[in-house]
Chain A
Amino acid sequence: MSHFSVVNPGVLSLIQDQGRFGYSQLGLTNGGPLDAGSANWANALLGNNANASVIECSIGGLQLKAHGASSFCVTGASLSLTVNGKPTAMWRSHSVQAGDIIELGMVSQGLRAYLAVAGGFGLTPHFGSTATVMREGIGGLQQNGGKLQAGDILPITVSAPLPGRQLAPALQPGFNYSNGLSLRIVEGYQQQLFSSVQRQRFYLNRYTVTPQADRMGVKLSGPAIQCASHSLLSEGICYGAVQIPPDGQPIVLLNDRQTLGGYPKIGSVLSLDCWQLAQAPAGTLLQFVKIDPQQAHNALLLHQARYQRLLATINAAGAADDHP
């Protein structure tokens, strides 16, 4: 079996698949790519199964060496991508030969990039998933929650080069948040514990992404939101839940959140918008926009339909012209 080796893991590179579901009753969180939309495209452009293992590279700096012929694709945050020092397009599949060096520069817009290989990395799942959760010591290359390190060997399963396929630049998601970002939110959980004045404050003001942001969640700063109660029995926390701790500063909980928590929650951010939040650097201005559960469901189905339609068009068009 052929493989890629890690020359330099960059700032933080983690193996992720779509996540670990059905183990929360053991205290295991979901994990999975913070920007699942970009990760899905990396796999889709290689014709992979959507759950194939990819590398999530935060901030950039990942360098890999191919030890056999394969194809790869990088999506997500904008960065300079090179193969053997030669600039190479993101959002497009490329073939590589043994000895080729793939290098991701530092991100210029967005925070997380995704690298997939044809057929996915051949890794052993841990509790049904290869998703790396460092805090839990679960998943990843060695099934111990470890991040990628120089010298790691990543087995690959398919060696036949695939035709180049790309997502046209106009259709690629953008990660420029200089004009702020809207987060659609479905109200729920303890929303009734927040008075109408507090809810208005929450929706009418802008909040800023703070540097306290990681795979567990994103802490925001802005006008404090008061809640009628601070102490609840611990209960399940879903993806995107907006928790209001006693200091009144909201926290949006993401992939590696703790499974249980006792702070009041006002609702949950739409998954599609959580992907964007995970790409937004500290200082980004946010505004919450309330939607009802039917609108949320519509948004998910419309996104999925658009994605399937684009994918079908790309598959029908076949290989992109193989020159830069």
Chain B
Amino acid sequence: MNKALYQLTIAGESAVMVYFEQKMAADIAGLVRQAAPLIRQALGPHLLELLPSYASVMVVFNPFSCDHFQVQQLLTQALSSLTAGNNQPGRCIELPVYYSEQSGPDLALIAKTKQLSIDEVITLHQQQRYQVYAIGFAPGFAYLGAVAEQLAMPRLATPRAKVPRGAVAIADRQTAVYPAVSPGGWNLIGLCPTPMFQPHSEPAMPLAVGDEVQFVAISKQQFLALGGQL
């Protein structure tokens, strides 16, 4: 019964992929969120790395304490309690955003392309809670989705050499907050003053895979008061 929910595939000498149905969807993200602690508990000290993403969990084990046979057994046992549709909602984290043409240089382009007003773009971006599907690309970079169809914008043809820290951005039906200054090709719509990755703090990140995010518009004054920089 549960077998149909996932599939185990070898990835390397000491790595296994737990694959779910390959789609970006809240119910699949719910299965990933259910599976991660079950796997952590079942593998115990054998586990070196556990990496959840959109529709998979990568499991890396210590090859000097167990092998693929044993890991497959442990995973099959642990995942037998997975239940579709039985997903506890994750935490919901509110992230403030200063949306403006000053802080979001691509707002006007999105509005024009999608035949919306700038205010409509800002409202649509806040209109739903987003799922944290994956964290990667750079430390603290969280892939959030799914953005309303009306806001889906392709990546820029030429990526910017320098996207500012805290930039809130859209690419296709995904959105994200850049944790640090980096090159990037996503469309920028605002700035978030909340640090997304602090390498010398505990916890280093406000978000984890499985959480939900609600963006909330703030004024320029509030942005500056929260430590934001323009």
B136 touches A260 (CB 8 A): yes
Can you name 16 A-B residue pairings with CB atoms under 8 Å?
A21-B48, A21-B49, A138-B199, A186-B13, A236-B56, A238-B15, A239-B15, A241-B11, A241-B12, A258-B136, A259-B51, A260-B134, A267-B12, A271-B13, A300-B63, A304-B64
Q: Identify the closest chain B residue to A296 (Cβ).
A: B13
What 0/1 pattern do residues 195 to 221 of B give for CB contact below 8 A with A?
001011000110011000000000000
B13 touches A234 (CB 8 A): no
What 0/1 pattern do residues 3 to 19 of B give for CB contact below 8 A with A?
00000011111110100
Overall SS of chain B's interface: loop
A214 within 8 A of B: no
**Separation in Å of the B80 CB from the closest CB of chain A?**
22
A143-B200, A186-B13, A297-B67 as given contacts; A234 in contact with B143, CB under 8 Å: yes
Residues of B within 8 A of A (CB): 9-15, 17, 22-24, 48-58, 60, 63-64, 67-68, 134-141, 143, 180, 197, 199-200, 204-205, 208-209
C-alpha gap A25/B56 in the complex (Å): 13
A136-B139, A238-B58, A259-B51 as given contacts; A233 in contact with B17, CB under 8 Å: no
Number of interface residues of A (CB under 8 A): 43
A24 within 8 A of B: yes
Residues of A within 8 A of B (CB): 21-22, 24-28, 30, 126-127, 136-138, 143, 186-189, 232-241, 258-260, 265, 267-268, 270-271, 293-294, 296-297, 300-301, 304
B197 touches A236 (CB 8 A): no
B63 touches A136 (CB 8 A): no
Indicate which residue in B9, B24, B209 contacts A188 across the interface (CB closer than 8 Å): B9
B12 touches A188 (CB 8 A): yes
Chain A residues positioned under 8 Å from B208 (CB to CB): 25
Chain A residues positioned under 8 Å from B136 (CB to CB): 27, 234, 258-260
C-alpha gap A22/B204 in the complex (Å): 14
**Separation in Å of the A254 CB from the closest CB of chain B?**
12
A25-B135, A25-B209, A26-B140 as given contacts; A293 in contact with B13, CB under 8 Å: yes
Chain B residues positioned under 8 Å from A300 (CB to CB): 13-14, 63-64
Indicate which residue in B9, B14, B50, B199 contacts A189 across the interface (CB closer than 8 Å): B9
A236 touches B53 (CB 8 A): yes
C-alpha gap A254/B205 in the complex (Å): 25
C-alpha gap A126/B199 in the complex (Å): 8
Q: Identify the closest chain B residue to A28 (Cβ).
A: B139
C-alpha gap A120/B198 in the complex (Å): 28
A188 touches B199 (CB 8 A): no
B141 touches A235 (CB 8 A): no
**Separation in Å of the A300 CB from the closest CB of chain B?**
5
B58 touches A26 (CB 8 A): no
Chain B residues positioned under 8 Å from A270 (CB to CB): 13
Chain A residues positioned under 8 Å from B12 (CB to CB): 186, 188, 238-241, 267-268
B17 touches A189 (CB 8 A): yes
A21-B49, A240-B13 as given contacts; A235 in contact with B135, CB under 8 Å: no
B56 touches A233 (CB 8 A): yes
Chain B residues positioned under 8 Å from A24 (CB to CB): 49-51, 58
C-alpha gap A137/B165 in the complex (Å): 14
Q: Identify the closest chain B residue to A241 (Cβ).
A: B12
Chain B residues positioned under 8 Å from A138 (CB to CB): 139, 199
A127 touches B143 (CB 8 A): no
C-alpha gap A189/B56 in the complex (Å): 11
Chain B residues positioned under 8 Å from A235 (CB to CB): 17, 53-56, 58
Chain B residues positioned under 8 Å from A233 (CB to CB): 22-24, 53-56
Most buried by A among B135, B141, B180, B205: B135
A25 touches B52 (CB 8 A): yes
**Separation in Å of the B59 CB from the closest CB of chain A?**
9
Q: Identify the closest chain B residue to A260 (Cβ).
A: B136
**Separation in Å of the B144 CB from the closest CB of chain A?**
13
Q: Identify the closest chain B residue to A240 (Cβ).
A: B12
A25-B209, A27-B140 as given contacts; A232 in contact with B15, CB under 8 Å: no
Q: Identify the closest chain A residue to B51 (Cβ).
A: A236
Q: Identify the closest chain A residue to B64 (Cβ).
A: A304
